[in-house]
Structure 1
Amino acid sequence: MLRLRHDTAAAIIAMSKKDPDSMMFSSSGALLEGTVFGGVYFAPLLGNISPTMWGFGVPRIGQVIVYSFGRQVGGRSHGAPRDLIDTLGVLAHHSSLGEFDVHSIDNTILHKAAYSEAIDWWATRIDRSLVDLFSPTTYTDEHDIYRPGAHQRWMLNFEQLLARICAITRQPNDPATQLMLLFPTMDILADSFTGSNGIGQLMTPKRISKLIDRVSKRVPDRIEPIIMAPARRALAAAEQVADEFFIPSPNPDATPESRIIHLWNGRRNTTHGFNNNAEILAEHTGRLPPDIVLVPFVYLLDILTDRQRLLERVRRDCQRPPKP
């Protein structure tokens, strides 16, 4: 359908006959490679207790084979760098590797099948989300007309959200990299999935706590400690960020929540430079706990466990007049 905006059906058929092995319209194909190998769909689950691990995946075309260790194991060590490029890490003034919460899961109380059941549960939620997001019937306007542009956008939104979360979990040795990955991940959540006015609203302890309470009720008790581990680490980190204000606000109308929102919007905007956000940054120590980069997990879990909310968001998007 998107291709027909650029060529006639006759022209497309003619090109297909001339070169039947070529892709006639590979729009954003490189951004949707996860649909071929599938690894990006399981990476957030297998990296959800980074920097430790509890399993790994082996991608194949059209499938992913997931192996569970049945317990936590170390993901990164404190020893000598493995590769020469890793020696650059010692030049950083601070390494967060030792500050992550690696005790968020108590393996002594977990059922022996908990990890394998977590994989099954996750696969089911991913499958249902893909059914919704890849089906053309999801993307119709108020006149029941198919909206191919919206279809492409939402497939990309979901794919790139997972890819960015995966990238965060792979970088526990580099807090600067994780933070720079956090901001675009929260941007896609704010702009596309929640409709928030900036990422600040999504980073408050109050909102994160409320979301965790809602999501945890949808997760089976036996796997809840595994699935919810990154969410609870994120909440603890968000609360620590709120405690790092060391002077009162000069604004008498400021509240603890409004200061957090202002701070996070300011920190996110520093990707463009430290310009008009100096005041709020001056009131805060600037310290961000390493686990703060796990906040996107909270919203991903909400997306995976509340199909109706996501579908309603997509439908509202489809009913907006298309941009010229």
Structure 2
Amino acid sequence: MNRRHTGTAAVAKIPRWLFGGNIVGYARAAQLKLRPVDAPEFRWRIETLERYERRTAHLVERIEIAGPGAPARWEALNRLPASRVGNTVPPALVAGLRRKLVEDTAEDDVLSKLNWLHASMTFAEDDQFIEAACSAFESLGGANTTEGVPLFPDLAASFIRFDQALTWRAGLARVLVRIEEEPALLNTRPEQTDDQMAFGSATGILTDLSLTRDAYLAPLFLCHSPFIWAIVGARQQGVMVYSLGRPIRGREAVAAELIQQFMPAGPASFAGCPPFTAAQMATTLAWWVKQLNELLSLVTDPATYTDQTGEYSPRRQFEAQLSFEQAGRRIQAVLAHQRDQSTRQVLAFAALDTLEGLGLVNFEQAVQLTKAEKVLDRLGALLPLEVAEVLLPSARRAVNALRECQDGFLRNSYVSGGQVALPHKNGQQRVVTVEQATGQYLRVLRNAHHGFGGQNDAGRRRDEVLLMSHSGNIPNDLVLLPYLYWLHALADPQILHRTLAPRR
């Protein structure tokens, strides 16, 4: 008798040669529980350890080194595993960078020194990392204003550790996708070459999971862009984070590099950073890591991608991992590209498209004010109060910008009394609210990456009227909409869980 699949495990064919023929060793490294179902047919039952043991995943953790005003405990970093790949940056290049950013700059050039702190943590060898991290912490703690007042009196330090199990889990999907295309590989592992990985599919667009972690952490550190509140350094084992205890400006009014003279000037002014305390920053960082741990457990769990019989779809996991990382990268780019509003708008629309591909939000709904307000209200209920104080201001700005976008409709024969009459495909006119018309107008802008004019179909006249009826003045903060929906998924990972099952 067939048992109904409970959704906690997946069944898949796994080649005997995996992990050098040590499948049990692979399971241990990937934090998975593997049990044979049909050994002659290579079939195994796969379950994550966190599900099997009914506990929280151990994939991402925050190691507190020093709280605000507290002494540092650098010994907490002694248990970090060794880097998997040696440092490829020549020591002479690192030394030259230090001379340029530290020794050859003015004493009050804080930006150069902060850039060096970031680089020094990234380029340090394993046996030098703790020393480099300690030196960076002392440098930040010793920085003073011209009046001799400490710049960062509430400085804190943490290390966000990403377990290697994440990489092994992601790699399994990549291996099985190729085997699906080339079934003979189930019995024989392909030969490794000097210039190519045997199973290197999409490794160039899935690097943040195993290297920089920007896609997963940058939206947090940039949540009040152009203000920042942390200095970070990526390591293979995770990310070193120095919480400054207060926000500082991350962008200057004038160009810092010559090439920026050829970039758009960006907004003439931007919203000030809301006040939040060092304690709130620490609470928010801990909350973000906790939620990210749960979310990545879900994204890398083979059971997330099973049909009703429990059969695993590695292709669906492969695609979902790529999409999830792409969404984070695009949101990072939106938040970081402060000067180029046109590029930010393109990136924001692209991020919304990626979130739609993940099933998190439909583009048509995402640009509807009613939907955005509901998500914002739910976030207010989901987030702890101290976390909401840090993370919600930018989400509110996104919703307010969507509301302001409705004010761009011009009074004409199509627009009147909060309504817009749009040509319909049957030759009649359809009267919609300004809110609905705003969503349709933003869709026109999203589709315009192919150029304005669109296809000569039933919707062309509607789009022509929308373009004629709106001023085109789009509030700068509209680009924060993807951040709103990303935050929603982080606050409630089950939203993503419901969308990632294999397509029927």
Fold shared by both chains (TM-score > 0.5): yes
Structure with more relative contact order (C-alpha pairs < 8 Å, separation 6 or more): 1
Given candidates 287, 305, 328, the residue that maps to 1:162 is: 328
Q: For residues 147-168 of structure 1, give each alpha carbon's deviation from its aligned partner in whole angstroms, at most 9, with x where no partner exists.
A: 0000101111110000000111
Shift of 1:191: 3.2
Identity of aligned residues (%): 27
State the 1:265 CA deviation. Answer: 0.9
**In structure 2, what residue type is equivalent to 1:300?**
W
Partner of 1:253, secondary structure, is strand
For residues 33-87 of structure 1, give each alpha carbon's deviation from its aligned partner in whole angstroms, at most 9, with x where no partner exists.
Answer: 01112232110111111111111321100301122111121111112x2111111
| TM-score (ref. length: structure 2) | 0.58
Query: Which residue identity is paired with 1:86?
Result: Q
Q: Distance in 2 between matches of 1:98 and 1:68?
A: 28
| Structure 1 residue 184 corresponds to structure 2 residue 350 | yes
Find the aligned partners of 2:310 and 2:243 in 1 and give their Cα distance: 44
The code of the aligned residue for 1:250 comes to A
Alignment equivalent of 1:287, drawn from 465, 470, 473: 473
Supply the distance in 2 between the matched residues of 1:169 and 1:12 (Cα, whole angstroms).
46
> Does residue 1:68 correspond to 2:243, yes or no?
yes
Query: What is the identity, as a one-letter code, of the residue corresponding to 2:229?
Result: W
Decide whether aligned partners of structure 1 residues 231 and 131 sit closer, same or farther in structure 2, where only a CA change above 3 A counts: same
Q: Who is 1:152 aligned against?
A: 318
Paired amino acid for 1:149: R
State the structure with more CA Rg: 2
List aligned pairs for 1:12-51, cutoff 5 A.
12-13=188-189, 15=191, 23-37=197-211, 38-51=213-226
* Greater per-residue helix proportion: 1
The farther-off stretch of 162-171 and 111-120 is 111-120
The 8 Å contact of residues 323 and 357 in structure 2, kept in 1 or not, is answered as no
Residue 262 (structure 1) aligned with residue 432 (structure 2) = no
- Paired residues of 1:129 and 1:307 also in contact (CA < 8 A): yes
Question: 2:474, 2:262 → 1: CA distance?
Answer: 22
Whole-Å separation in 2 of the counterparts to 1:36 and 1:311 = 22
Shift of 1:24: 1.5
Contact 1:100 1:291 in 2 (8 A): no
Indicate if the aligned counterparts of 1:42 and 1:57 stay in contact, CA closer than 8 A.
no
Q: Is the 8 A contact 1:244 1:284 kept in 2?
A: yes
TM-score using structure 1 length: 0.88
Alignment of 1:102 with 2:266, yes or no, is no
Q: Where is the strand percentage greater, Structure 1 or Structure 2?
A: 2
Change (3 A) 1:69 1:14: closer
Q: 1:253 to 1:21 in 2, by over 3 A?
A: closer
1:7 positional shift: 4.9
CA distance in 2, matches of 1:246, 1:99: 25
Helix, strand or coil at the partner of 2:243 = strand
Q: Which residue of 2 aligns with 1:224?
A: 388
Task: Tell me the number of residue pairs that the alignment of Structure 1 and Structure 2 aligns.
Answer: 305
The Cα of 1:21 is off from its aligned counterpart by 9.8
Cα deviation, 1:204-242, whole Å, max 9, x if unaligned, reads 221111101101211111121111121011011111111
Give the drift of 1:288: 0.9
Could you tell me whether the CA contact under 8 Å between 2:215 and 2:327 is conserved in 1? no
2:489 partner letter: I
1:121 is aligned to 287
Q: Distance in 1 between matches of 2:326 and 2:341?
A: 21
CA distance in 2, matches of 1:195, 1:225: 24
Structure 1 residue identity aligned to 2:479: V
- Aligned-residue RMSD, C-alpha: 1.9
Q: Distance in 2 between matches of 1:102 and 1:65?
A: 27
Q: Is the 8 A contact 2:358 2:496 kept in 1?
A: no
For residue 229 of structure 2, give the secondary structure of its aligned residue in structure 1: strand
Asked if structure 1 preserves the Cα contact closer than 8 Å seen for 2:360 and 2:489, the reply is: no
Q: What CA distance in whole angstroms lies between the structure 1 residues aligned with 2:479 and 2:391?
A: 16
| CA displacement 1:125-178 (0-9 Å, x = unmatched) | 111111110111221111111100001011111100000001111111111110
Q: How far apart, in 2, do the equivalents of 1:14 and 1:304 lie?
A: 38
Unpaired stretches in structure 1, ≥5 consecutive residues: none
Secondary structure of the 2:410 match is coil
Q: What one-letter code is carried by the residue in structure 2 that aligns with 1:258?
A: Q
Return the match for 2:234 from 56, 59, 69: 59
- Alpha-carbon shift at residue 190 of structure 1 (Å): 2.3
User: Does the residue aligned with 1:194 lie in a helix, a strand or coil?
Assistant: coil
CA distance in 2, matches of 1:41, 1:101: 24
